[in-house]
Structure formats: structure tokens, C-alpha cells
Structure 1
Amino acid sequence: MFNPERIDSFPEKPGVYIMKDKSGKVIYVGKAVSLKQRVRSYFKSSDSLPAKVSSMVSHIDDIEYIVTDSEVEALILECNLIKFYRPKYNILLKDDKQYPYIKITTNESFPRIEVVRKIKKDGSKYFGPYVEARAMREAIDILRKIFPIRSCKKDLSRVPLKERPCLNYHIKRCIAPCQGDISEEEYGELVKNIIMFFEGRQEQLLNHLKAKMQEAADSLEFEAAAVYRDQIAALEKILEKQKISSTDLVDQDIIAMARGFDTACVTVFFVREGNIIEREPFILSNTEGAERKEILASFIKQFYDTASFIPKEIIVEEEIDEKEAIETWLSAKKGSKVKIIVPKRGEKKELIEMVAENAMAYLEQREAFEERQRIKNERAMEELKGYLGLGKLPKRIEAFDISNTQGTESVASMVVFENGMPKKEDYRRFKIKTVEGPNDFESIKEAVFRRFKRGLEGDEKFKDFPDLLVIDGGKGQLRYALEALKELNLNHIPAIGLAKEFEHVFIESKSEPIILPRDSEALYLLQRIRDEAHRFAVTYHRKLRSKRNLNSILEEIPGIGKARRKALLTAFGSLEDIKKASVEELAKVPGMNKKSAMAVYEYFHKA
């Protein structure tokens, strides 16, 4: 347990405090104007603390702190640490790393548009995050019909390429800059138009296109004028669906919240040039016992930490914690003044009420769906218990699968479902070490043995044992998994094999398979778990194979040894990014110099 007397030595300066449990795991990250006073507030009478905070304090074993020069610096550091550790007791923007962004590679000669899950400081333009991925992809598809820029990853540093244009050119989804028939300036005009659209400057974009159309008509370039006319018509059709929301034409984000038991839905309406151009709902977890102003402040910090655009005004439904510090931070990020406004009456008040209604509707819809899913999962677990003759409900199920290519780069995956839902933080992957060649039986045995041995040795990552073990395969794979359990005296853990072809279930005590009804929730659950284990294994195997292939290519370059190959991989992550890097960027990688950087650059840019 943490000794509160240690707080006397804490400084009365701004900074970030990091709370850890007895295993050394970070369970909470907070910021403070005075570290000493803020941390001391957690150790007053437990009766005055909310239940969630009291529970957290009982698990604190150590507290570290980092002093900063200002409250704003502390806020930035707090955002980064929460994103990195995702502590158990912090209010968290659910699965924020999963939300997609639109990326336009403005750092390339002929920029392309793609969907990514992570923002990098690579000179590209990013827009998002987007919760509704399908709507985002539909928007991209519509825009590429109007402004046909490329989506391929071809190196266009030297055009034309010695190949024919792809299908996208023939169906008018790409203008084929690879053929050298369009200049960088002309192509750049298309890219500029798309960027204006995603920045919410649609009216400005329309006016720009109308001026271009008139200019082309005056010059008697009627074909070009017709292209602009069609682009204008298509854009006007999109803009017809948008609702005028504000008369002052200031870029605004309007934020309101609805609360459930331990989750909250924060909905954001994005207003650009007076139009609502997008609406996104976000779910936050660990909100039980937190005040509304704390939840809204946590959302704003986490959302705008990675947002691609910060508006001039952020309109919220009530006052938030740390308002001045957050305004200063956002203004510094934007490069101009950002205001957080709480409207009391008028148009903005009406807008915030509309956003709040949308947040409540989304939360109710989500909670109804989750309740239906919970009932289905309960039924599935009850059915499994009956069909398999289990002593208790299989609330925690672990599944294993093997992936390899003709016995090479053999890997195993372990996925975990709790109460019928994936628990991704407990997923694990294993490189097979003791098996040579394509031997799934021995590979399964090794993976199962290593997993449970580490659990028995007290490894925190493997401490929770399953109520049911699922092996992807038939009798053979199951028999080897059971051998591993017996060697560890864990043969009391129920295990089954799920064969792919006919979805037969094998258990140790029966020679014939159990055939579950085709429409049973139990079978649907097993199929979801097995498919997830397969996906996780294949993804890991592809990653290793890609890394091996990249290593083998880099081995061909003179002067690029093992250490430099590893450094290049760490710095750039993929062969495509290494190819696109300049000599200067390559030379900045630790262990590289001008000569080795030139060798890499020339290898990928041979005439």
C-alpha cells in the first residue's frame, strides 16, 4: 500500500501524477496545478470520496510524478500518457485508436487518398477521426467520381511509368497521373479541391469552381468548362442535404453529452461555413461517479489531441473543468484563438439542445443493442454448458489457432472472449520455437503449454484461466492440447476441438463428434471465436512474413547490415515508406550516414 506520508515530499508545482498498483501497472494518470495538494486530496476521509475513487485509492501501491513548467504542459503530457497507458480508472474515449482518418499524401508528387488508423508526422493532410466508417468511404467514393485522384501506392517520382493505366482510369475513378498526361500543377488543383471539401469550405470550393468554369468558357475551352460544370452540379447535389445551422458562418464544433450507468455518449456536430457537415457520436467508458464537467473535459482533451482540425469555437452545454488551460492548449495547436462557449440563450442554445437530443437517442439505441447482445450471449453460454456437459457457464473462453507457410514463420494466436464478447487486451501471440516444419499438432501443444506455464508461474498477463479452451482443429489438434494441459496438471480445464469443414465439436470423453444445431447461439458463438483466432493468427503471420521479405530486400543493398536494417524498419515501418524517403530522411536514421543513405536511395530509384 502507498504511504500517504510520502506526499509531504511532493512539490507544489504543476505536473502529472502516475498511480500504479502492486504489479507496477499504471491505473490512473492525472494533472495538477499543485502536485502536492492534488495528490493529498485522494487520501482524505474515504467517506467523502466517490465509490470509484475510493476503490482506486485502495489499489494504489506507488505514485510517481513529473514536474512541468506550466499547467498547459501538464495537460499535454497527461493526454499523451493516458493514450499510451489507457489506465483502468481514467475516463477513456472507447477504442479511439480504431477510428479511421482520411489521409491525403500531400508529401508526394501526385498525392493519393487513403484510409488510415493512425496519424503520422509525414507531411500528409489528415481528416477525422470518423466513427461511421461506411459513410466516410461513401464520401471518398463520391469525391473520387468528381475529382478522380489516385488511391494506388505506385512510386510516381518519375513518370510516365512503363505500364498501362489500371481499371480505375477506365471507370473514371482516376485520372492516371502514372501515364504522364497531366502535370503536377493540374493534378494539384484536384487535390486542393478535395482538401477544401474535407475542411468544410464547400461554399468556397463551389465559388472557386464557378470562377474556373467561367474562365474556361471565356477562353473558349468548352471541354474544360463542361468538366467544371459537372463537378459543380455533383457538389451542389451533395450540399442540398446539409442543413443551415448558424448565421455567423464561424467554424464551430457543438458538443453535448448523454449518460448511461458507466458510459457516456458525447456527440459532436461539425459546423463549417454555417453548415452542419458531419455528426459523430463517441462513447466514453469509466464514467461512473464522475461529474459531467469532468467527462466533457476528458473528451475534449482526448478528441482534440488527435483531431485533424480545430475550429474557432467549441460550443458545450455546460462549464467544463480546466477551461482556461484547455483553451490555451487548443489555441497553441491551432495557431489562433480558440474559444470554449457555453450558450445561455438564442440560436446556439437551440443547437446544443438538438445535439444533446441526438446524443441521448444514440445512447439509447446502443444500450438497447447491447442488451439484446447480452441476452444472446447468455443463451449461447447456457447452450454450450448443456451441449458440452460443463460444470459451470463458460464465461471466459480462450481459443488457439496456428498459421504458417509450408512450415515457415509458424505462429499461434490466443484470443479471449468474456461473456460472449472479445476481450482484446487479453489476446496473445506466440512465435513457435521448438517445432520444425508444418506440424500443427506439436505447434498447438507448444503454444498451449507456454500459455498455461506462464500463468502458473505468476505472469500477470496469463493469470486468468479459461472456463473453456477451444482449439481450431479436429481430434488430433485437441489431443495435443490436452497433453500440454496434463503435463501441467491442468486437465480439469475443459477443452474442445472445432473442426472447420462440418463444424463438428470434439471432446476427450467421446469418440464421435458433437453436432450442434445449425441455428443454435452456441454454434454461432464458437464460430465467431474460431474465426477471430484465425484472423489474429493470420494477421501476425503476414506481419512477420512481410518483415522477413523486407529484410531480404535490404540485405541486397551494400553497406546495410543487420543493425541498419533494424533501424530502417523501426524508423519507417514499411518498404513503401523507405522507398519514398529522401536521402536526408534516410541519413537521419540512427546508425545511418550520408553514404549508406545514398546507397538505399539509389537502390530504389534505379533508372
Structure 2
Amino acid sequence: MADPASYRPRPGEIPTDPGVYRFRDEHGRIIYVGKAKNLRSRLNSYFANPATLLPKTHAMVHHAASVQWTTVGSELEALQLEYTWIKEFTPRYNLAFRDDKTYPYLAVSMGEKYPRVQVMRGERRKGTKYFGPYTAGAIRETMDTLLRVFPVRSCSVGVLRRAERSGRPCLLGYIDKCAAPCVGRISEEEHKALAQDFCDFMGGEAKRFIGKLEQQMAAAVAELDYEQAARLRDDIIALRKVFERNAVVLGEDTNADIFAVEQDDLEAAVQVFHVRGGRIRGQRGWVVEKVEDATEADLWEHLMQQVYGGEEQQQDSIPRQILVPELPANHEDLAQWLAGLRNGPVEIKVPQRGEKAALMETVRQNATQAMALHKSRRAGDLTTRSLALQELQEALDLPMPLLRIECYDISHVQGTNVVASMVVVEDGLAKKGEYRKFAITGEAAIDDTASMHDVITRRFRNYLAESEARANAVAATGEVSGALTGEDAAEAPKSKFAYPPNLVVVDGGIPQVNAAQRALAELGITDVAVIGLAKRLEEVWVPDSDFPVILPRSSEGLYLLQRIRDEAHRFAITFHRAKRGKAMTASVLDTVPGLGAAKQKALLDHFGSMKKVRAAPAEELAAAKGIGPVLAQAIHDTLNTGDEANAAAPAVNMTTGEILD
């Protein structure tokens, strides 16, 4: 019996989206399928205190050896996928829906004289339109809600005939849940048109009907008929509720495989949904190593060959449509080859809009989550981290283990708002409390090499100064150990940087590496190794070398360097955007000496706009909070006697073009 803690996903790995989850035993067989509105909340409940679990659930989680999940776009899609997989895999711990029953459908018998709305199961009947499937509770609620807007007949044949003979409608006719064609309230043609509107709404034209009701409500309000407007408002709310619940996957005649990918420079996470008869019948995922210099089109060509070209591939498993985010190389020849395997036409295309494009976005989200999960598990595995650090040490021929690695990246836009980031990794794990940001100005902002030299110099110069100050403090106390207490500890300089790294990684090639090495040499630091990671080919450069160090593309050491470099880039971009946003907000008030941000805000709050501030005399300006007579006169002179072009210009956010006054 397995321990659920042995396969429990780590915190944060499970998404909060709706989806379907599958528990598998040690042989890979699916033993339970479930759906959830929030996957994280639902799955975490299975790993609670075993004493609180129901006997069946307790047995299932101890029988299982792994758990997987698939996210979908809505609760209805989760319901459909759950039902499909229970029918396909017949898991032993699923009690519901394992018999021959099916989910109920909402059916409209358009072939009858007076079409009837009803709940139906089993085989489909000719002349009847079906919508669904639904759960038993949801379908009754949906039907009851829609009948107030589309009062189509829902009674049985016996009730209909009795009403026709007596000339009195049934209860539904009295409460306006039926248009009562049986007693002639509306004609046969009008009732069929009403039933067709019902079908059109359920078929996806909900927005047309909702928009029509909104226009009628607006007209009722204009005529001061508030009671009618309130009724229409309630109808609109009801239709919107049904519309949100009734998100269908695809049309029933749709047979397609829908692919999506999330990739970086080394790997790609591929996901595919198998849609048959408009329903998701299966899902698969892979994480594959990318071929060097291969494009995404090349990736799809190789993937099609592997997925559909195996000897065990069944002819009927190749669908009519294959939907991909980018057409494979030689897609016409590939489609012809697949058509020969299928003995029928095959179409490879990129969906641009509509339901198929929306479902592809769902598949892409699954690929993104699969990639993140793959990376987090690789980074979180102690054995993998140790192997990565060992591979790096051996490849770079370093004498000391890589206990601490620092990575630096420069970020700017055409030389403006230049910033740099420093991220720290200890024992292969990020140490975010020791990340640092650098703003770069002056000569250091000329180019990336000058910026890198400046950042490395500042970081290690601060370290040397802190080390010297601490050494002096220790010498003054006479404590060899360096432990400071009491007043000595309070007076000791506060450290901005921790101890130096064993390895410095810079984002770039040999110019950036040589600049960093030169900065360390100028400070007299010789025991810190420097390398650079060039993004295009993932080459590792060392100082004063004509050739890079090439790590195997499957190397754990290369994966570690890539993760560190990407984290440094993310941290630098975040700081750069924040700095650029502040710098891009300009105002003529900034030129007034002594007028800071707080007083500018007080001035604008008092007058309401720059136009009124500019028109106000100095005496009125002095009435604003924090504005004295001298400062008020300076503001008045700047706005009215300074440069006319500047004085006429309002404060503007240069990024968005928004006028700030």
C-alpha cells in the first residue's frame, strides 16, 4: 500500500483552474477520475489527515501511486472530459456513470406539431435537437431558467390533449412558463418560431438575444415603464447565467487533434487534446529536447512523424483535422503522407478564431503548466542539483565546489534607463533575499561592457569595504572569532552584500566576460571565476578565450545556467520597466525649485487641473497646502514668464500619452 505523501504534488504545482484529475496505480492504470472547479483545492483535500477521509477515498489514495491533471476552459468542459474518461477507462473507484446510462441532454422535438422541450437520455430521435450533456441538477435549472424567456411547451402528450379538450391550459400556462399553444394563445407557426429561438440560443447565438432584450429594456426605461424594464432585466440575468454554463467544446462532427507547445532554448513541452465527436476523448503530453537551430515549424514536422508514423499507429486514430499553432515545414507533403496512412483526407491548419482557437489556448495553458512543472521538479530535485553543480565544476575545471553562484544582466532601451540585476543561487536554489538591483548612469551607461564593468566593480568594491570595516571592528574588540555583541554589534556596518561567490555568470559573450574579469582584477580579486552564457547558441565563454566551452544540450549544468540567466533577465526587466515608468512622467512643475512630488500633488488637488494652476495668481497659489508666498511666486513666474512652449504644455505620461492634469 502506497503512502500518499510519496506522490503528493509540491505546493504551488497544482493550478487553480477548472480541470480533470486522474489517480494512477503503480502499473499506470487509471483507478479514479474526477473533476474540479479549482484543481488545487480539490486535490489537496485528498492528502489531508487520513483519519478524516471516507473509507473509499482512503483506500483509493493509498492504492494510487501518482496523480495527474488536465486543465480546461470551464466547468462544463471538465464535466464532459470526466464523463468521457470514466466511460473509456472504467476506473475501479468511480461508482457513478460506469453503467450504461448517459448524461441527460436538453432536447427540443422540432418534428412535432407543437415542439416540446424535455430532458432525454439514450438513443437520439429523428427530428429532435439535442444540447448538452449536463448533470441532472444543472439541466433542470437550465430548462426552468430558459422557459421564462422562451415559454416553449414542456408538457407531455397526455397533458397537451387534455388542455386542448378542456380549453384550459395547464399550470405552466398560468405561471407564464408556457405560451399555451394548446388553447390558442399563440399560433402553431409562432410557437415553432419560439422553439427555434430556443434552439438558436442554445446553439450559440446567446449574444443576439441578450442584446435584443437589452434594447427592449432601454426602451422601457425611456418610456418610464419600470416594471417591464425590471422583468426584462431579470430575463437578461437568466440568459447570461445559462450562456456562461452552456460553453460547448466543439461541434459534434468535429474530429481533430489540437496541439500546442511551450518552449525555451533547450526543451519544449508539447500537449495534444484528442477531440472526437466534438468531445475531448484524450490528452497526452511530452517534454522533448530541441534540436539545435531547429525552428518551430521543424519541431512540428518531426512531431507529426513521431506521433502518427509509428508501427503501432491505428488507421482510425488519425483525425480529419490536425490543428497546430504554426504550420510544419512541408505541411502539404506531410498532409498527403498522413492521408495515405488514414486512407482519407487530412487537413493541417492553424485556427485563427472561434471555438477551435479558444480550445487551442486551453491546450497551450496545459503546455505552459507542464513546462513549469517539469522545470520546478528538475530544479527542486537534490540529486539533479548536485549533478548540475558537479558537471559545471568539472566542465570549467574549477578547484572549489560551486556553493554560491551570482548572475548579472544589463537591461535598457537604446541606451536609456540602464539598469542591472544580480541574482544569487546557493546549492542550486535561488536565494531571493540577496538579489540586488543597480541603476547605471554616466560613462558607465555607454554600452553593455562598460555597464558590466561598473556593476561588478561596485558589487565587489562594496564587499571589500564591508570586509575591511568588519575586520577593523573585530580587531578593536580583540575577538578572534569576529562575533560582535552589545554596542559593538550595533555600531558594526550593516552588510549590503553577502560573502563573494565561487562563480560569476554574466549574460553575454566574450566582451562582457572580459569586462567582468577586468573589474575583478582591478580590485585584486583572483579567487572568483567568471563565465558568460551567450543566448543564441547557449555557449559558455571564459575570459581571454577564442573558443567557448560547449556543454551537452542535455547537460544538467547547462539547464542550471539557463535557469539562472533567465531569472537574472526577468529581475532586470522588472526593475527597468519600473524605472522607465517613473522617468517617462514629465511635468513643467518639476522645474520649479523647492516643489517636490508631495507639494505638486497638493497643488493639483487644490485647483483640480494644470490649467487652473496656470491661471491662478500667486496669492491664490499660496492658499494650497504647503505652498508659501515665496514658492507660490516661483510657481507663478515659472508657469507664466518662462519658456512659452513649456508653460503651455500640460503634464503628460510619455509612455501612454495620457494628460495628467
TM more than 0.5: no
Question: TM-score, normalised on structure 1?
Answer: 0.37
Greater Cα radius of gyration, structure 1 or 2: 2
Give the TM-score normalised by structure 2. 0.34
